[in-house]
Amino acid sequence: SGTMGYALALAARRRGAAVTLVSGPTALPAPPGVQFVPVVTALEMRDAVLARLEKATVVIKAAAVADYRPAVRQAAKIKKSAGPLNLALERNPDILAEIARRKGSRIVVGFAMESEDLLENARAKLMGKGADFIVANDLTQTGAGFGTDTNIVRILDWEGGDERLPLLGKLEVAGVILDRVKQIRGTGRIRDGR
């Protein structure tokens, strides 16, 4: 739905940040005062993010980008036939990992939306992707995940920290995430790029 990413953009703008929001399709209006970059596909998102990476000091990747896309794109509707339909998929680029490889002195934040083994999967993503911290949420919990104005998250950092937040509004969650970014900037404890 984009609600968490938009809440982050709005909260950062309210704090005085120059914000660029690269967004996939959503019904949400662009937050006021941000540079809004609409995209449709994962490849477009990757290109838009990387084109703006040089000027960024903080990158927060809240979008739930599909891991796979159809290997062949059809120009017209695929008509129903008597036999089965086989759909070949290919991997989408891993935008978070690519950003982390080019991290430099940027703070990079990722999200891990999971339906099982939240802590293990989120920690593996954190360590494998090279982010400074990961915001993890369990999609099976009531009030967390897509299509709600609330979220229940855990913030895991590369030094082993694990902060559990209660059910909060997504704008409140955005404030906690931005407070963590501010803390990292203040201490200079930024994870080395990969």
Output the DSSP codes for 63-98.
Answer: ----SEEESS--SSPPPP-SS-----EEEPP-HHHH
pLDDT in tens, 20-44: 999 999 999 999 999 999 999 999 9
Tokens of 55: 């000027």
Average pLDDT for residues 174-181, to the nearest whole number?
A: 96
Work out the percent of the chain whose per-residue pLDDT is above 90. 68
Average pLDDT for residues 58-64, to the nearest whole number?
A: 92
Picking from 153, 133, 135, the residue whose alpha carbon sits closest to that of residue 144 is 153
- pLDDT at residue 166 greater than cutoff 90: yes
pLDDT in tens, 85-101: 888 999 999 999 999 99
Tokens of 137: 């949420």
Contact (Cβ atoms closer than 8 angstroms) between residue 120 and residue 126: no
- The pLDDT of residue 41 is 93
Radius of gyration of the chain, Cα coordinates, nearest whole angstrom: 17
- The pLDDT of residue 193 is 58
- The single-letter code of the amino acid at 112 is A
The HSE-up count of residue 193 (CA atoms within 13 Å, CB side) is 9
Tokens of 113: 């939306």
pTM: 0.89
